[in-house]
């Protein structure tokens, strides 16, 4: 009898050992040194039936709580249309890999091509790759791409208002690639242009990394930043939240050379941190420095439109250590998720979802300020769907009180400062419930 997961029965093992002239497995492993050989049985519990396993996990699931989520800080609770999981689960799509023989996988290459087209349009950039692992590594890859393009420069500036988690990943990449990373100072929730220009004047900066919106949810004004960077022969890299680009100026409109970030905000469930999707778009002049796969459209011998992996000489499976990046796969399945999501919502739907988040965030911020117990951390700055507030009480106490009401109130960024996000998922009643909980707090 053949089992799917246990192919060898006791009788099978006995027969195979007999063919080898052995009586037990100990003889088979006799050549393995005794000091590294396992003695006795594995310390594993007895196997369970399928029903017992289902009962076990159902019991674990009963410990979960469904919370109203106002937490953001780079990852947001957006609605996932029901058709997306259905399409992603189809056998012809259920893989994260871009094929090495693209001519036999035209469907996969077509949706990646559509993904690239959509992301280029959303970011206002000329070209996009087939995707990266996540937003933080995409930003780090953008940094390395810029340093490579600059040839002799090894210094990069990064804004203090870029997400701290992204900054840490970028710092790790920089450390092990011999890149000097300096921070652009922050004032009143935004980075200082004068500090950037003073550091650019040293003449050794390859790139400047900024965020839109920034970590505090603020839509910073980057007018003239690209010109300043280019004047000193540096590239401008923008880490952005793509869902917010339905309302904000795109990186291309700001004059950025590279746009990158995490596409999780395009309807991907939070699910304990992944899988998400890093995106990287750039000006056409930088295409040969881009990491990862790029799908292009062409015509076959019969005149039919077809899709290919183009510019493969940049890639690891061709150039090995001389490749533009060590990335050798991509988030293909999540790229398909993005294509389906953007196709379903369209321009108007994406804008409507973003407007619901913006309107909800401004309503909630005003109601929380009206309690007299919370105030905007940066009242002079414009924000989209996320904002920082200072409190008259410890944020940890608010977190505990909100959990009792089934609310995840935000992300604590200081003992008395909290970051709160609103999307199309939170209702007016849920916001009012958060405000009611705040009113019960004591300073």
- The CATH architecture annotation of domain 68-78+346-439 reads Alpha-Beta Complex (3.90)
Q: Residue 273 burial (CB < 10 Å; 0-12/13-18/19+)?
A: exposed
**Contact of 126 with 116, CB cutoff 8 Å:** no
Quick: pLDDT tens for 334-347: 999 999 999 999 99
Per-position DSSP letters for 24-81, written without gaps between them: SHHHHTTTS-GGGS--S----PPP--HHHHHHHHHHHHTT----EE---TT-------
Which tokens sit at 102?
Answer: 């693209």
Question: Is the predicted pLDDT of residue 97 greater than 50, yes or no?
Answer: yes
Any residues with CB less than 8 A from the CB of 88 and at least 6 apart, and which?
Answer: 94, 333, 336, 337, 340
Per-position DSSP letters for 316-338, written without gaps between them: HHHHGGGSS-S-----HHHHHHH
Fold exhibited by the domain 83-340: 3.40.640
The domain segmentation of the chain, as residue ranges, is 10-61, 68-78+346-439, 83-340
Q: Residue 356 burial (CB < 10 Å; 0-12/13-18/19+)?
A: middle
Banded pLDDT at 46 (limits 50, 70, 90): confident
pLDDT score at 318: 62
pLDDT score at 357: 98
Any residues with CB less than 8 A from the CB of 429 and at least 6 apart, and which?
Answer: none
pLDDT score at 329: 62
Q: Of 264, 279, 266, 336, whose CA–CA distance to 95 is shortest?
A: 336
Residue 130 pairs in a beta bridge with: none
**CA-CA distance, 215 to 161, in Å (whole number)?**
6
Quick: pLDDT tens for 119-176: 999 999 999 999 999 999 999 999 999 999 998 899 999 999 999 999 999 999 999 9
Q: pLDDT > 90: what percent of the chain?
A: 77
**CA-CA distance, 338 to 256, in Å (whole number)?**
23
Question: Is the predicted pLDDT of residue 243 greater than 80, yes or no?
Answer: yes
DSSP state at residue 249: P
DSSP-based helix, strand, coil % in the chain, nearest 5: 45, 15, 40
Please tell me whether the overall predicted TM-score, pTM, comes out greater than 0.85 for this model: yes
Across 268-327, the runs of DSSP E, i.e. the strands, are 278-282, 295-299, 305-309
Tell me how far apart the 2 most distant CA atoms of the chain are, in Å.
85
Mean pLDDT of 202-217: 98
Question: Is the predicted pLDDT of residue 1 greater than 50, yes or no?
Answer: no
């Amino acid at each position: 009898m053949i089992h799917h997961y246990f192919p060898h029965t006791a009788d099978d093992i006995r027969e195979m050992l007999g063919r080898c002239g052995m009586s037990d497995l100990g003889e088979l492993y006799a050549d393995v040194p005794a000091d590294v050989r396992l003695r006795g049985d594995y310390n594993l519990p007895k196997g369970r039936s399928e029903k017992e396993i289902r009962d076990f996990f159902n019991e674990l699931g009963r410990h979960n709580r469904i919370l109203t989520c106002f937490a953001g800080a780079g990852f947001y609770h957006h609605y996932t249309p029901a058709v997306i999981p259905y399409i992603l689960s189809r056998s012809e799509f259920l893989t994260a890999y871009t094929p090495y023989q693209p001519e036999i996988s035209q469907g996969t290459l077509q949706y990646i091509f559509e993904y690239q087209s959509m992301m280029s349009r959303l970011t206002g950039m000329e070209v996009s790759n087939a995707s990266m692992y996540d937003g933080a590594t995409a930003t780090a890859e953008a940094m390395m791409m810029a340093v490579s393009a600059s040839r002799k420069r090894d210094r990069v500036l990064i804004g203090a208002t870029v997400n701290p988690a992204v900054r840490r990943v970028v710092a790790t990449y920089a450390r092990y690639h011999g890149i000097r990373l300096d921070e652009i100072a922050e004032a009143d929730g935004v980075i200082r242009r004068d500090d950037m220009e003073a550091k650019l004047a040293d003449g050794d900066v390859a790139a400047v990394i900024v965020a839109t919106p920034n970590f505090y949810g603020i839509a910073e004004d980057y007018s003239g930043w690209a010109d300043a960077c280019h004047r000193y022969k540096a590239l401008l890299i923008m880490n952005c939240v793509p869902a917010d680009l339905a309302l904000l100026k795109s990186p291309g409109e700001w004059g950025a050379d590279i746009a990158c970030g995490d596409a999780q905000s395009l309807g991907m469930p939070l699910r304990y941190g992944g899988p998400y999707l890093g995106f990287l778009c750039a000006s056409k002049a930088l295409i040969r420095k881009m990491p990862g796969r790029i799908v292009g459209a062409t015509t076959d011998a019969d005149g039919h439109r077809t899709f290919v992996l183009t510019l493969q000489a940049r890639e690891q499976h061709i150039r090995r250590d001389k490749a533009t990046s060590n990335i050798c796969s991509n988030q293909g399945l999540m790229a398909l998720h993005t294509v389906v999501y953007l196709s379903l919502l369209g321009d108007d739907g994406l804008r409507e979802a973003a407007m619901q988040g913006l309107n909800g965030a401004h309503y909630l911020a005003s109601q929380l300020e009206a309690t007299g117990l919370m105030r905007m951390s940066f009242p002079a700055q414009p924000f989209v769907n996320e904002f920082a507030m200072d409190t008259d009480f410890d944020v940890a106490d608010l977190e505990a009180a909100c959990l009792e009401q089934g609310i995840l109130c935000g992300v604590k960024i200081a003992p008395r400062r909290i970051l709160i996000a609103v999307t199309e998922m939170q209702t007016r009643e849920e916001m009012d419930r958060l405000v009611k909980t705040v009113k019960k707090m004591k300073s």
